[in-house]
Amino acid sequence: MDLRSLKFLTNLKQDNIQFAVIGLGRFGRAVCETLHRLGYDVLGTDIDEKLVAQALNQRIAANAVKLDSTEPTALKQAGIFEFDTVIVAIGNYLEESIITTLNLKEAGVKCVVAKASSDIHGKLLRKVGADLVVYPEYEAGCDLAYTLTKPAILDRFDLDPENSIVEVLVPEEFDGKTLAELELRRRYGVNVLAVGSEEKFLTNPSPLHRLRKGSVMVVIGSNKDIQRLPL
């Protein structure tokens, strides 16, 4: 059994959502390719014609067009304002990133995700309306640290800088014990949202549910408390 294929968190997929990715550098390409591989309708855009051609040739998006995202007319003509979610992946160009984000929110795009290269950049993006600001390099560093120190963590969703939902392998210490016996909330400060085995998850498990080593549990708590789990 490939436990990583369970992916409780990433399986919470909403169908029929359309994405546009503005900026086809390394980060934007990765977002495009992953969304496209997951079966979503993705439009990639960039001001650099070579990057657009590369995206089309490698088929990492349903379509890709060249445009200047700082021009509202160009965004409108490309139909960007009609997309459910737009990812602004031009974080290394502060002015263009902020103007693009502002254009999208002023046009009524429901969800705008913007890449930031610094704390100040992130604050400015939020000021102009970005719904979610991401820091890929920082997050990649955090993921690496978790991978090196807590290999039993299969997936993680950060609620904020201090709290997360994580998908973890049940440790040997918990094998054969019920949730009630483990008293995870009292001992570790975490709550179990779901438990999984084979290809099925059980949400809101009963306190009498017995855990088995090698299966998966999804817990919520502060990062400090999650670190205390015997993983």
Tell whether the model's pLDDT for residue 196 goes beyond 70. Answer: yes
Alpha carbons 171 and 164: distance in angstroms, whole number: 19
Domains in the chain: ranges and CATH: 3-134 (3.40.50.720), 139-227 (3.30.70.1450)
Kindly tell me if the per-residue pLDDT of 140 is higher than 90. no
Q: What is the Cα–Cα distance from 116 to 134, expressed in whole angstroms?
A: 6
User: Whole-number mean pLDDT of the chain?
Assistant: 88
Is residue 115's pLDDT more than 80? yes
- Work out the percent of the chain whose per-residue pLDDT is above 70: 91
pLDDT at 28 over 70: yes
Query: How confident is the model at residue 85, as a pLDDT?
Result: 93
- pLDDT confidence of 151, banded at 50, 70, 90? low
Contacts of 83 (CB under 8 A, 6+ apart): 18, 19, 20, 43, 109
Average pLDDT over residues 122-130: 95
pLDDT band at 96 (very low <50, low <70, confident <90, very high): very high
Model confidence, pTM: 0.66
* CB neighbour burial string for 94-107, b if at least 16 within 10 angstroms, e if fewer: bebbbbbbbbbbee
Contacts of residue 103, Cβ cutoff 8 Å, sequence gap at least 6: 69, 70, 71, 72, 75
